[in-house]
Amino acid sequence: MAKNATVVPEIWANIQLNLAPAYRNRIRGNRADNQEKAIAACNNALLIYTRDSFLQQWATLQNNLGLVYTDRITGDKAENIEKSIACYETALKVVNRAQLSELWGSLQNNLGNAYLVRIQGDEAQNLEKAIACYQVALQVRTRSASPYYWASSQFTEALDCLRAALQMQVFTRDQSPEGWGKIQNNLGIVYRDRLAGDKAENLEKAIACYQNALSIRTREDFPELWAQTQFNIGSAYRHRLRGDAAENVEMAIAANQSALQVYTKTAFPQDWAQVHINLANAYLHRIHGDRSENLEKAIAAHQGALQVLTKEEYPRQWAMTHLNLGK
């Protein structure tokens, strides 16, 4: 235990508890380093804030750890998400909904977010678990009691909930631009993956949502979110059914190249690799330019991705990338 912790342990632990979200949300410095500092702060606080003596603080720390692990850059992505899920589920075993309703709702919502991006397990089952978590979170995150969190839980559930969050004007572009931009980006993801309705129309709606998001998520104000949305719109353009096919591929290439301005191999290795895979697929189907040159660019992009997607750490992605290289 740290030396200062023996003097005023509860005050020291409370400072550590507050340090964790500060590091997690820190803009300056290296993001991966900030995340590791957030994890360390949580673990320090847990030396004092034990489950038996400080249940609420202990559960809050589990929630904070889960948030960091979901987005953690260092380590294996799939394993980090499993750690995140374990943190939330461990806390939910002891957090009383009646006594700590806000924390309980936050844990359920965040657990849903973790299942939504989970890599391990069955994809359909993970999605069902995510929806179930959002639905139970809405039992305490009502619009009247917690309008902000109600909207947060709403837009992560699915298309109808995303629309509801916008129609209820909890998140407006003028009053809550960052939240509005996030909803637009998430709407784009839902429309892109939507099975119901006309596929071509869904993709048009997805592109429109991403364009709305990019009006808020500028590179200057939100560089990481800007790169994320550029990646998403690039994927939508690559699969677009309407418009000029050749121009759609060019738009996809441009968007992915834009994402690489932020998603560097050093800072965001997994995102960097995924963008290279998207670029490879775009160059493979490119109509403009020299065919042999486009194929060389596609091969180079796949090979670049394999610098990160190793057989040991990402066996499925590694195999799929090699399969694409062999086509």
282-327 pLDDT tens trace: 999 999 999 999 999 999 999 999 999 888 887 888 888 887 776 5
Q: In this model, does residue 258 exceed pLDDT 80?
A: yes
Q: What angle do CA 56, 144, 146 make, to 5 degrees?
A: 35
User: H helices then E strands: how many in the chain?
Assistant: 15, 0
Q: In this model, does residue 4 exceed pLDDT 70?
A: no
Q: Which two tokens stand for residue 228?
A: 């994320």
Residue 145 pLDDT: 53
pLDDT band at 203 (very low <50, low <70, confident <90, very high): very high
pLDDT average, residue stretch 267-286: 93
Q: Are 85 and 118 in contact (CB under 8 A)?
A: yes
Q: Cα–chain-centroid distance for residue 267?
A: 16
Q: Which of 34-43, 164-173, 184-193 is predicted with the least confidence, judged by mean pLDDT? A: 164-173
Q: Are 238 and 249 in contact (CB under 8 A)?
A: yes
Count other C-beta atoms under 10 Å from residue 122's C-beta. 10
Q: In this model, does residue 52 exceed pLDDT 80?
A: yes
Q: What angle do CA 259, 283, 280 make, to 5 degrees?
A: 60
pLDDT band at 117 (very low <50, low <70, confident <90, very high): confident
Contacts of 224 (CB under 8 A, 6+ apart): 31, 262
Cα–Cα dist 307/116, whole Å: 27
pLDDT average, residue stretch 38-51: 96
pLDDT band at 123 (very low <50, low <70, confident <90, very high): confident
Contacts of 296 (CB under 8 A, 6+ apart): none
Residue 312 pLDDT: 87
pLDDT digits (tens, 9 = 90+) for 61-86: 999 999 999 989 999 999 999 999 99
First to last CA, the chain: 56
Cα–Cα dist 104/60, whole Å: 10
Amino acid at 266: T
pLDDT average, residue stretch 200-213: 93
pLDDT band at 155 (very low <50, low <70, confident <90, very high): very low
Looking at 143-285, list the stretches that DSSP marks H as alpha helix, in order from N- to C-terminal side: 147-157, 159-167, 177-193, 199-214, 223-239, 245-259, 269-284
Give the predicted TM-score (pTM) of the model. 0.54
Q: Which two tokens stand for residue 180?
A: 């509005």
The CA–CA distances, whole Å, from 238 to 117, 134, 207 equal 22, 31, 11
Residue 183 pLDDT: 77
The CA–CA distances, whole Å, from 325 to 173, 265, 297 equal 43, 21, 12
Calculated CA dihedral for residues 280, 285, 288, 290, nearest 10 degrees: 70
pLDDT band at 41 (very low <50, low <70, confident <90, very high): very high
Q: In this model, does residue 57 exceed pLDDT 60?
A: yes
Q: Give the mean pLDDT of the chain.
A: 85
pLDDT average, residue stretch 16-23: 93
